[in-house]
Amino acid sequence: MLEVNAEWRSFDVPLAATPVRFNNEAERIARHLHLVKAHLAAHTPEGLSAEQAAQRADLLNALEEYADVGQFPQNHILPYRNPIFIDPSGTACAVGQLMIVSGHRELAERIDAAMETSYLAEIIADERFAGPVSAWAGTHGFDAHELAWIQPGYPPPILWAPLGGGTNGTVEVALPLFNNDLLVVGSFTDAGDVACQGAARWNGTAYTAMGQLPEGVVHCAVEHGGELYIGGSFNNGQTDLLRWTGDAWVGEAVFASKWAEVTALLSHEGQLYAAGGESGFAGVDYGVKVLQEGNWLPLPGVLNGPIHALEFHENYLVAGGAFTGAFLSTQNEIMHVARYMDIGWVQIADGLDGDVHDLMVHGNALFATGDMVSMIGTSFGLASIENDLAEWTRLMPNITNYISVSPVDAPSVARSMVVHQDRIFIAGDIHSYTGLTYGRGVVAYNGAPDDVEPFCDFLGPANDIALVNGNQLVVGGASEFFHNIISTELATSIGPDSGTLELRFFPNPTVDRVSITLPTSMGPAKSVRVTDASGRLVGADTRPGTGLIELDVRALAAGSYQVEVNDDSRTAIGRFVKQ
């Protein structure tokens, strides 16, 4: 409930600390309103007249009816959860609706016209509305604190857009770099109208071409020791690893053989690891090598299938992939996930029942994602295991309830994952639905088994997912409609703490100029910092005034921006949208 309204911290309402799943945001807001109504109905303030008590009871019943209808304002203004007093379609927020049903529509519409995105505390503090709102609240038996608790915040729509205009071909890898740039690799010749041959670097504003990739297949990429590497199989299997020199990609064969191929790369504590296969007359040996003093040294022990992912967990190297045992083994003793011991590769706990495509450590747990649904049945999809390595927990046990595949004989595969604020975002060849919400390519796992929801309709299979600068989600794959690579800014579900000063913007969104109102407690602005959605500092012409800053945004690209204003002792923040 804190996601809907942070005022829950201020009321002593006993709620069970158990996970609750909502099929959609309307259900979450309705539950908030029902709980608030029940508490307020059971805690009538002392000293109310009979008329005030009756008015209060009538409006609480109206609040219950409003929650039951489940039609709430839509936030198409701000890129984060925020109140909307009355949206453009005329749907009022809970407090606005109470004003309207009590015969005070004119007051609600005046508030909306002047302070549509304001919190109740700000509305009541405004000299234009302090008197009228306080009088209305008192007449109907409410205080300002109760109204502030009723007022929900509404999330923004998930706005996806091609990253920098996208690419003209499939994106296989999207790798965040240490400086918050993004390496994009695939089978394209154009990225954001920049001519390139399979590799480009996105700096938050534009793409830069990065040489020409040789003909072949890309599987993975990594940044290690300040250098960039791409793994795959190139030049008819002659090379399997490419290193960027700053001017060109230089190839080598880590798994030199009839057909060299690198399938996974990992940089860990100064060591570079490569997984791949060496092909010979007896078949393909799949294993891992480590780069030491310029030489690739093999780790003893080979597997009977490709390794798709490498990770470290509990100080052990972990591999996930399509293997089921040691090389030439006929026993299923290493089912798809293993850690490297002195004696070689050993299955982790009870193993997994499908190919693993990605591994990730979050908190104390190791997560694996991979095969989901095919004609022969369902696989784990997403699983985790704690430090004791006793047993894998399948996090999608009822996967057929929300995963469908088209065509029906095609597999559903989760290929890549990232975590943001304890939500795991998974990209792959996935069709998913929750209620009437449908998506393809990206789902969000919310922390409890089967609590998975569609997060995007990519209109095609997604190959990789990345988190850039902590808050920008990027998905790459094969989607002609979305030009193969898209991004969105993940909104923080709970706004700033009550002690944080906030800026107000008008108009918002804007196309040319925006006026920024400073909190009354702040002195003259000494510095103004504007950053884009990726956290990059951008230039903007500012004209400070008394309690007001005029910002010229004509030179800024369309998108969301954060503004920080400092008066030498305090900082106020806020966001606006440039259209």
Number of domains in the chain: 2
The answer to whether residue 554 sits within a structural domain is yes
| pLDDT at residue number 499 | 43
Q: Do residues 323 and 352 lie in contact, with contact meaning Cβ atoms separated by under 8 Å? A: no
The answer to whether residue 336 sits within a structural domain is no
> Which band of pLDDT confidence, cut at 50, 70 and 90, is reported for residue 24?
low
∠ CA(9), CA(11), CA(12), 5° rounding? 105
| Residue 457 β-bridge partners | 440, 441
Concatenating the DSSP letter of every residue in 162-207 gives EGGG-BSS-EEEEEE-TTS-EEEEES-SEETTEE-BSEEEE-SS-E
State pLDDT tens for residues 532-551.
654 566 776 766 655 788 88
Cα–Cα distance, 240 to 231 (Å, whole number): 6
The answer to whether residue 396 sits within a structural domain is no
Cα–Cα distance, 169 to 166 (Å, whole number): 9
| pLDDT at residue number 486 | 93
Select the highest-mean-pLDDT range: 78-92, 390-404, 412-426, 558-572.
Answer: 412-426
Of 36-45, 326-335, 535-544, the poorest mean pLDDT is in 535-544
Average pLDDT over residues 440-461: 84
Average pLDDT over residues 317-338: 89
Q: Do residues 319 and 345 lie in contact, with contact meaning Cβ atoms separated by under 8 Å? A: yes
Q: Which of 412, 408, 407 is nearest to 396 (CA)?
A: 412
Amino acid letter, residue 537: L
Average pLDDT over residues 360-388: 87
Of 292-296, 329-333, 349-353, the poorest mean pLDDT is in 329-333
The answer to whether residue 45 sits within a structural domain is yes
| pLDDT at residue number 198 | 97
Picking from 94, 118, 150, the residue at the C-terminal end of a domain is: 150
Cα–Cα distance, 349 to 390 (Å, whole number): 5
| pLDDT at residue number 466 | 97
The answer to whether residue 558 sits within a structural domain is yes
User: Residue 492 above 50 pLDDT?
Assistant: no
State pLDDT tens for residues 140-160.
999 888 888 888 888 776 778
| pLDDT at residue number 296 | 97
Picking from 150, 179, 209, the residue at the C-terminal end of a domain is: 150
Picking from 150, 174, 200, the residue at the C-terminal end of a domain is: 150
| pLDDT at residue number 51 | 94
State pLDDT tens for residues 70-118.
888 887 666 567 888 998 778 899 999 999 999 999 999 999 888 888 8
Cα–Cα distance, 58 to 140 (Å, whole number): 9
In a 13 Å sphere around the CA of 508, the CA atoms on its Cβ side amount to 27
Residues of the domain holding 537:
501-578
3-state secondary structure of 533: coil
User: Residue 440 above 60 pLDDT?
Assistant: yes
Q: Which of 443, 473, 470, 446 is nearest to 457 (CA)?
A: 443
Phi/psi at 442 (5° precision): -140, 130
The answer to whether residue 100 sits within a structural domain is yes
Cα–Cα distance, 490 to 165 (Å, whole number): 19
| pLDDT at residue number 125 | 83
Domain holding 568: CATH number?
2.60.40.10
